[in-house]
């Protein structure tokens, strides 16, 4: 007797999802609670477990289909099942610029830095790859069947493909046979049309909604990072040994931000209808890189956490974002956002508010610049700070005061210790 597997409850206000990938193919042995499919929602990817042990039946929907909560995904047939077999081979992907990109992924830029000398992915490549891994395979030309996965259940990650590509480029290239004909240069100008992922559609909608609704303004300041860099260099080894996590800059900024939010409560408030809601707590949303794009989990009650507690929370978010195991409840309800574009090399930006929040802090790269200190021109490691805020609620004076309070705490970290 077959057991139906339906789309589970996905969270508050989420009624549908997109089938991201099938983790089990028809005929594969399935254990109870073993993931058989991955669904993409507006916020995260959700794995669907099998309710019983048995053999994977037929898929009721295909990758890329939109399914509603409660809809039939597949069936699990009774029986012991055979060992999981390799998925059916996919059609070969050629080097033609018009080859279709994986659903939900951004295509390589035509004529740009896409597949330079990449070997086409053949039909021997496994089909059960995440969209980001398939994209990495297309860009690098690495044969995924030759790479050992480091992800959950031995699955490949983008990092695995990147490492294999790096090893491939450093290895000595074999001499080409004399009889091999030279490859004809590509002369076409290709275009690709791919469907936006559900996450990207939601991000686009919310960001445009923020621009249309809020009276957005950005105020800038800069901060001398000398004291934090010195403290980090002095204590990072002891910190990691004691707390089991690396000491980064985000711990300092999150802690300093909670102090500044306490002094300037409007920056931590929200507009709801014709009312202003002030919070006596700071739930800080932090942007974290995930395989399908940036996600923004929330550090709850950050004002009560030490720098070590903040770093542990951020480290946990980063690991689970990479594994795709963040929960939707962990990305709801923030009161203030910090986005660190500096890790990607950004010098300056105007971040966009994450509704219904009223402000977002943008951090940028640290670089040595000449500054005047006590009448002398000296070189210091400086960072630009950007605070985008809803001018309907936050006045310019409050925005500037917030940034100055943050600047003072970072330039003199002792203030963080004595809550000054």
- CB atoms inside a 10 Å sphere around CB 387: 24
Is 395 marked active-site? Answer: yes
Where does 50-112 show beta strands of DSSP type E?
A: 54-59, 66-68, 72-77
Out of 279, 301, 391, 412, pick the active-site residue.
391
Question: 3-state DSSP helix/strand/coil percent for the chain, to nearest 5?
Answer: 30, 25, 45
Closest CA to 309 of 244, 256, 235: 244
3-state DSSP assignment of residue 144: helix
H-type helices in 217-347, by residue range? 226-243, 250-263, 307-323
Q: Report d(CA 45, CA 17) in Å as an integer.
A: 9
Packing angle, helices 226-243 and 396-411, rounded to 10: 70
Closest CA to 48 of 40, 60, 36: 36
Is 391 marked active-site? Answer: yes
**DSSP for 150-170?**
-SGGG---HHHHHHHHHHHHH
Contact at 8 Å (CB) between 358 and 394? Answer: yes
Out of 237, 263, 301, 395, pick the active-site residue.
395
Catalytic residues: 391, 395
């Amino acid at each position: 007797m077959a057991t139906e597997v339906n789309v589970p409850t996905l969270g508050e206000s989420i009624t549908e999802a997109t089938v991201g990938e099938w983790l089990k193919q028809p005929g594969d042995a399935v254990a109870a609670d073993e993931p058989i499919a991955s669904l993409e929602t507006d916020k995260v990817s959700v794995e669907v477990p099998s309710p019983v042990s048995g053999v994977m039946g037929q898929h009721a929907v295909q990758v890329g289909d939109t399914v509603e909560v409660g809809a039939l995904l597949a069936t699990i047939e009774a029986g012991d099942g055979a060992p999981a077999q390799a998925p059916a081979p996919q059609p070969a992907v050629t080097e033609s610029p018009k080859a279709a990109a994986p659903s939900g992924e951004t295509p390589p830029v035509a004529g740009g830095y896409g597949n330079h000398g990449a070997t086409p992915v053949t039909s021997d490549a496994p089909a059960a790859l995440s969209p980001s891994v398939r994209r990495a395979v297309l860009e690098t030309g690495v044969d995924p069947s030759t790479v050992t996965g480091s992800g959950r259940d031995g699955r490949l990650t983008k990092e695995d493909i990147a490492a294999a590509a790096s090893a491939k480029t450093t290895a000595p290239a074999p001499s080409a046979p004399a009889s091999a004909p030279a490859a004809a240069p590509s002369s076409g100008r290709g275009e690709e049309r791919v469907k936006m992922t559900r996450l990207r559609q939601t991000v686009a909608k919310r960001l445009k909604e923020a621009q249309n609704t809020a009276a957005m303004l950005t105020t800038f300041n800069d901060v001398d990072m000398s004291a934090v860099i010195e403290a980090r260099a002095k204590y990072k080894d002891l910190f990691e040994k004691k707390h089991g996590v690396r000491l980064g800059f985000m711990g300092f900024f999150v802690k300093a931000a909670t102090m500044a939010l306490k002094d300037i409560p409007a920056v931590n408030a929200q507009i709801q209808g014709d009312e202003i809601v002030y919070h006596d707590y700071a739930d800080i949303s932090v942007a974290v890189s995930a395989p399908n794009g940036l996600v923004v989990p929330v550090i709850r009650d950050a004002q009560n956490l030490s720098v070590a507690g903040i770093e542990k929370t951020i480290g946990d978010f980063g690991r689970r974002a990479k594994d795709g195991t963040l929960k939707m409840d962990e990305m709801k309800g923030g009161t203030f956002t910090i986005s660190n574009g500096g890790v990607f090399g950004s010098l300056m930006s105007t971040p966009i508010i994450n509704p219904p929040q009223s402000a977002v802090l943008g951090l940028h790269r640290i670089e040595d610049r000449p500054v005047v200190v006590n009448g002398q021109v000296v070189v210091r490691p400086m960072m630009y700070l950007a605070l985008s805020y809803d001018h309907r609620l936050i006045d310019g004076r409050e925005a500037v005061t917030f940034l100055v309070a943050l600047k003072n705490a970072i330039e003199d970290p002792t203030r963080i210790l004595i809550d000054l």
